[in-house]
């Protein structure tokens, strides 16, 4: 009985390996979420880069990129248009084939999230200077992003809105001093 179970398990592993492929990573290898390619098309991001011999250049080394569709929660090597990021880390041999480079935790524009910048069409209600969040090695501002709406105290007045009151507040719209906060209408 053990031998039969062992044979069935071996056959299942062999089938799984055959479906996945040989494991070689060339420019046409499909991944679970993305694919390896020799360039990054518009609307996509890359999450890893490797310098490979004879893959994207017939006679030498060239970069191959693991491309994926940008979504919130994906660590990417760049921030595509229409997205922001909530964290950045300097990683070895991920976004650069031979050294350190930044990776960004992508965020689709939406309110109720702390981000490292404020997407177009949004505002923010507070800002904090945080260590190793929006800068890999120092302090940088992190913004609490909000969807603009009447009655919101915001640190900026987005297009299509105005304000009915303004107050100078300590450590709300500036991480270390007084700055204006606007009541949107």
- Average pLDDT for 85-96: 97
What's the 3-state SS for 87-124?
Answer: EEEEEECCCCCCCEEEEEEEECCCCCEEECCCCCCCEE
In whole angstroms, how far apart are CA 28 and each of 21, 25, 58?
11, 8, 15
Q: pLDDT grade, residue 25 (50/70/90)?
A: very low
For residue 130, the surrounding DSSP H or E stretch is strand 123-131
**Beta strands across the sheet bearing 100-107:** 75-76, 100-107, 84-92
The predicted pLDDT at position 30 comes to 41
User: Does the model's pTM come out above 0.85?
Assistant: no
CA distance 166 to 11: 71
121: left (phi over 0), alpha (psi -120 to 50) or beta: left
For residue 59, the surrounding DSSP H or E stretch is none
Residue 121 clears pLDDT 70, i.e. is over it: yes
Residue 148 clears pLDDT 80, i.e. is over it: yes
- Identify the DSSP state of 21: -
The torsion angles phi and psi of 152, rounded to 5 degrees, stand at -85, 130
Q: pLDDT grade, residue 62 (50/70/90)?
A: very high
The predicted pLDDT at position 29 comes to 40
Residue 8 clears pLDDT 80, i.e. is over it: no
The CB density around residue 107, as the number of other CB atoms within 10 Å, is: 24
């Amino acid at each position: 009985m053990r031998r039969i179970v062992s044979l069935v398990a071996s056959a299942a592993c062999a089938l799984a390996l055959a479906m996945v492929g040989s494991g070689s990573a060339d420019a046409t290898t499909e991944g679970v979420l993305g694919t390896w390619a020799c360039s990054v098309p518009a609307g996509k991001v890359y999450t890893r880069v490797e310098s490979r011999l004879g893959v994207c250049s017939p006679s030498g080394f060239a970069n191959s990129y693991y491309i994926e569709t940008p979504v919130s929660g994906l660590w990417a090597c760049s921030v595509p248009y229409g997205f922001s990021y909530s964290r950045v880390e300097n990683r070895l041999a991920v976004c650069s084939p031979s050294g350190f480079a930044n990776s960004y935790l992508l965020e689709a524009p939406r309110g109720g999230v702390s981000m490292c910048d404020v997407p177009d069409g949004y505002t923010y209600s507070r800002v904090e200077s945080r260590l190793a969040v929006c800068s890999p090695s120092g302090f940088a501002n992190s913004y609490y992003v909000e969807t603009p709406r009447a009655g919101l105290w915001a640190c900026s007045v987005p297009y299509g809105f105005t304000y009915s009151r303004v107050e100078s507040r300590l450590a709300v719209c500036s991480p270390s001093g007084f700055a204006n906060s606007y009541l949107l209408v």
